[in-house]
Structure 1
Amino acid sequence: MTSLWLFLLILLPLLGEADGAWNQRQIRKKIHQLREIQNFKSFYSRIGLPKGAPSYVPPVEGFLTQPLDHFNRRNNATYKQRYWVNEEFWQRPGGPVFLYIGGESSESEYSVLAGEHVELAQKHRALLVSLEHRYYGASINPDGLTLEAIRFLSSQQALADLASFHLFISQKYNLTRNNTWICFGGSYPGSLSAWFRLKFPHLVYAAVASSAPVRAELDFTDYNKVVAQSLSDAVIGGSAKCLDRVRESFRVVDSVLQTGNVTQLEKDFFSCAPLHGPDDYTEFVSNLADIFMGAVQYNMESAGCDVRKICQSMISAKSAYEGLRIVNSMHIEFIGLKCVENSHEETLSDLRNTELSPTGVGERQWYYQTCTEFGYYQTCEVSSCPFSPLLTLNSQLDLCTQVFQIPTTSVRQSVQFTNEFYGADHPKSSRIIFVNGDVDPWHALSVLKNESRSEIAIFINGTAHCANMGPSRPTDPLSLQKAREEIADKISSWLQSAQLAV
């Protein structure tokens, strides 16, 4: 057995197994695991030797003591925030600094060992640093998820953490103005990357914001509009027939739910427990819809997220309902479940759980941020949505009230404030690259056209969420290869201009 696969077998158990919870929470967990594995394989393929060999110098893991509330220094409470540093490529003393920004999940050493930003750091002899987001992974106090303590979780506090981290790294490595900082992030951290450049232009010279939903949106109807378009996109294996089959399958399910005679649905779709009333019905159709949403958002990241494969199954089945049943079974196998948890009470219990997990996706934390900053609720109350109209805005806003005691009026006001504070999809900054794929539903909330000569948008045909951020591969589509080249050229140009400005 090769060293690479030996270490891969060691890594797999550390990534955790899927439990009984379902829908997009489990899909995100699975993708998070698979990305760790991909970064692991990419790193060991690059260095060509097992970890621990004499010539290998591992990245440094550390913890920085941060104020819990940067905006009230009379509050002396602190927490420890995890970071990673990789000096492998750094040309001392004047090489640039590439900052990888963490988001709504734990980070690991591979945040500075693999990915597009690492390949660019190798080219430009940059110091690689990454910062785990407050309240996620190991960067949280033991009581951090209680209603009292979680109130210090926000994007604004996270940006202040980044500014404090900038000072810490600058002092630790004796950095000066000659060390040009460029930040990188994808999805929510992509927004943070753009906002860090926007709010702290004196600290970071440029930013790459991949799949960054910089416009907060309470009722994110365009998400499922893009999902529908992608399911009918022949470039990725979709078709109009596939989309029609999906629509029909949910109409059939909705008609059965309306009768209340749901025993056959429970059996056909492997429900862990009987469906009790409207709230469970909403959970049920949400879990089914999430299969298609996840397949589109993460298309081609794994065998379980493949629009072509799902559409083939929907079309080849003897009926739309049978196709939906087959696709559900495929996803249960992909996630590693025996049944699907459709209980609304279980969802509430999961989101109310204040126990800490040092790995994976922070679901309670992220839902709190949607309630207090972003919305992003993916609904199905318009005709363009191919799923069930039971996916309502109110059903998701109710979770804010039931879990966090946050009323709907407050959520609406918070979303409006976020857009006022950051500028939504017209942030009026400079030296930011917004990268999006047309398959990714989140591109609807990003910057898709050049805002200025240096605030540019790259739109990649046929790619999904954060496709450019992973390690480059020979199998990358031509559109993605060209986008990577454009990003690399712009980074090179900005680094040159930074040196001339010093």
Structure 2
Amino acid sequence: MLFTPARCLILLLLLNSTDAGRILGKIKERVRNLLLQKAKQPLQHVKEGKVHQPLDHFNRLDVNTFHQRFFVNEEYWQRPDGPVFLYIGGEGPIFEFDVLAGHHVDMAEEHGALLLALEHRFYGDSINPDGLKTENLSDLSSQQALADLAVFHQYISQIFNLSHRNTWISFGGSYAGALSAWFRGKFPHLVYGAVASSAPVKATLDFSAYSNTVGLSLMNEAVGGSEKCLAGVREAFVAVEAVMGGNASRVAMDFGCCQIPKDIDDQIELMQNLADIVMGTVQYNEEGVLMSISELCGVMTYKSEAYEDEMEAYNRLVKLAQKTLKDLMDTTVHSGRRTARQWTYQTCTEFGFYQTCEDATCPFSGMVTLRAETELCLMLFGISQHSLPGRVAFTNTYYGGDKPRTHRVLYVNGGVDPWKELSVVQDRAEEGEEAQTVFIKDTAHCADMMRGRVTDRRSLKKARQEIEKHVVSWLKMAALEKAV
């Protein structure tokens, strides 16, 4: 949830004084920053470019355009017929490392591919100066983004003199993973195969299953969780609500609020941001972003004689928040580019994805309701809350939800990742057809997209081998088809 002027936590202001947004978004930014630091190639291998795109692909009378940014890495490309690996940008800026590091880059080196990364419209530098005004946001949608990809395909083909002999394969993670699958589904003549990692292809207004999956992961002993850990988290959130009801001044002091959370909206904001700390830890677990589930559970189950028994759970959550602030501020690469307003608009118009806590199984605060989460749609964009179910239903009708009729799309998901609930996790391939899914037990969000590490779980290493097996199969099939 975004902040109104009267609703702000100093925690977020310290992280980014120019961009209001939830902690979960800041954690995702931290993921990208860490990857950039680990890029193995020097930046001189990367070329940046911009392509003119129509603001509205579906209105021939609208002649307005914008510059869309992309990166190219030709280091591994076996000219002239080598394949093209397209990394699709999602709800944030792209960076040089998108064509320098990651599993898709390792495969590109192995198979002589041209590496491309295209930034999503209205994010990063791919936006006009006045693009965030509500009246201009109507040109921001996944459908327009897919049309951008089609135009980009044509542009790159002309620039590099590509032909039908160059096999295109798309890659993406999270929302961009869904775009990767949808690009293959809507433009099968342009992209031969697609890898969709942690892709929420099923739009869902009330995504209460997210919080429920977080709770299950906190109990998963294989990743350092326990029933005691989940109980500790539940107890801590109950304690914060209790203290806030009688001593809001103490809560403001303990959690670094810039004002006392007396108003119900301020209280909901605080509880959501505290939940985001736990959610982000589970979502990215062992990817070196913040702490792992094991470390979080260590904090939430630690017994101390320094506090009264009834306040111990409360103080554990205070400690967790303090640790998160310290870790999130420890970054050498920082981007001030805004993303929260654009993504909130897309949730209001297309996807929902509201991580509510009204279900009794939710380990956080029941104050985070669907009504509270969606009120921003009306407040920021004039979009009625009553219109949201129809918008979400159309998205699923248009793309097929979690039962898409796609061919040569590989859906990759991790067992710890809450977003698997909205992806394709079970194969629906006919007998004799190629499998469509890879499921990685005890692994987090988009973990397969990272470059391999010695410390990676065996299941993750095996999954990357399976992904490459599919990519190799597609390249061989494409070569045979073109030889006929």
TM-score when scaled to structure 2? Answer: 0.91
Hey, what does 2:32 align to over in structure 1? 35
Measure, in 1, the Cα distance between the counterparts of 2:75 and 2:151. Answer: 24
Say if 2:378 is the partner of 1:398: no
Say if 2:451 is the partner of 1:458: no
In structure 1, list runs of 5 or more residues that go unmatched: 1-15, 45-49, 52-56, 338-356
Say if 2:129 is the partner of 1:142: yes
State the 1:20 CA deviation: 5.2
Checking the alignment, whether the CA contact within 8 Å between 1:184 and 1:208 is kept in structure 2 is: yes
Measure, in 1, the Cα distance between the counterparts of 2:462 and 2:14. Answer: 36
Measure, in 2, the Cα distance between the counterparts of 1:322 and 1:86. Answer: 49
Describe the SS at the equivalent of 2:135. coil
Measure, in 2, the Cα distance between the counterparts of 1:490 and 1:407. Answer: 44
Checking the alignment, whether the CA contact within 8 Å between 2:181 and 2:195 is kept in structure 1 is: yes
Measure, in 1, the Cα distance between the counterparts of 2:24 and 2:109. Answer: 32
Hey, what does 1:64 align to over in structure 2? 51
Cα RMSD over matched residues?
A: 1.9
Question: Match of 1:420, as an amino acid?
Answer: T
Say if 2:434 is the partner of 1:441: no
Q: For residues 209 and 361 of structure 1, do their structure 2 counterparts lie closer, same or farther at Cα, with a shift above 3 Å needed?
A: farther
Hey, what does 2:475 align to over in structure 1? 495
Hey, what does 2:258 align to over in structure 1? 272
State the 1:41 CA deviation: 2.3
Question: Match of 1:311, as an amino acid?
Answer: C
Hey, what does 1:111 align to over in structure 2? 98
State the 1:40 CA deviation: 3.6
Checking the alignment, whether the CA contact within 8 Å between 1:296 and 1:306 is kept in structure 2 is: yes
Say if 2:363 is the partner of 1:376: no
Moved more, 153-162 or 267-276: 267-276
Measure, in 2, the Cα distance between the counterparts of 1:22 and 1:84. Answer: 25
Describe the SS at the equivalent of 2:230. helix
Hey, what does 2:277 align to over in structure 1? 291
Hey, what does 2:323 align to over in structure 1? 330
Measure, in 2, the Cα distance between the counterparts of 1:166 and 1:494. Answer: 19
Moved over 4 A (4+): 20-24, 357-361
State the 1:470 CA deviation: 1.1
Describe the SS at the equivalent of 1:148. helix
Measure, in 2, the Cα distance between the counterparts of 1:288 and 1:239. Answer: 20
Q: For residues 398 and 245 of structure 1, do their structure 2 counterparts lie closer, same or farther at Cα, with a shift above 3 Å needed?
A: same
Measure, in 2, the Cα distance between the counterparts of 1:67 and 1:137. Answer: 17
Moved more, 33-42 or 198-207: 33-42
State the 1:28 CA deviation: 2.8
Say if 2:231 is the partner of 1:244: yes
Checking the alignment, whether the CA contact within 8 Å between 1:209 and 1:434 is kept in structure 2 is: yes
Can you list the C-alpha shifts for 1:399-446, whole angstroms capped at 9, x where unaligned? 100011100122211100000000000111100110010111111100
Measure, in 1, the Cα distance between the counterparts of 2:269 and 2:127. Answer: 30
Q: For residues 27 and 218 of structure 1, do their structure 2 counterparts lie closer, same or farther at Cα, with a shift above 3 Å needed?
A: closer
Q: For residues 188 and 209 of structure 1, do their structure 2 counterparts lie closer, same or farther at Cα, with a shift above 3 Å needed?
A: same
Q: For residues 151 and 32 of structure 1, do their structure 2 counterparts lie closer, same or farther at Cα, with a shift above 3 Å needed?
A: same
State the 1:95 CA deviation: 0.6
Describe the SS at the equivalent of 1:292. helix
Measure, in 2, the Cα distance between the counterparts of 1:17 and 1:431. Answer: 45
Measure, in 2, the Cα distance between the counterparts of 1:446 and 1:254. Answer: 33
State the 1:463 CA deviation: 1.0
Question: Match of 1:152, as an amino acid?
Answer: D
Can you list the C-alpha shifts for 1:34-58, whole angstroms capped at 9, x where unaligned? 43333442314xxxxx65xxxxx52
Checking the alignment, whether the CA contact within 8 Å between 2:35 and 2:97 is kept in structure 1 is: no
Describe the SS at the equivalent of 2:134. coil
Hey, what does 1:417 align to over in structure 2? 394
Can you list the C-alpha shifts for 1:196-240, whole angstroms capped at 9, x where unaligned? 000000110000000000000000010001000011111111100
Measure, in 2, the Cα distance between the counterparts of 1:283 and 1:138. Answer: 29
Checking the alignment, whether the CA contact within 8 Å between 1:191 and 1:214 is kept in structure 2 is: yes
State the 1:454 CA deviation: 3.5
Q: For residues 23 and 310 of structure 1, do their structure 2 counterparts lie closer, same or farther at Cα, with a shift above 3 Å needed?
A: farther
Question: Match of 1:291, as an amino acid?
Answer: I
Checking the alignment, whether the CA contact within 8 Å between 1:18 and 1:26 is kept in structure 2 is: no
Moved more, 151-160 or 249-258: 249-258
Checking the alignment, whether the CA contact within 8 Å between 1:32 and 1:360 is kept in structure 2 is: no
State the 1:301 CA deviation: 2.2
State the 1:326 CA deviation: 1.3
State the 1:324 CA deviation: 1.2
TM-score when scaled to structure 1? Answer: 0.88
State the 1:358 CA deviation: 7.2
State the 1:303 CA deviation: 5.7
Measure, in 1, the Cα distance between the counterparts of 2:117 and 2:354. Answer: 29
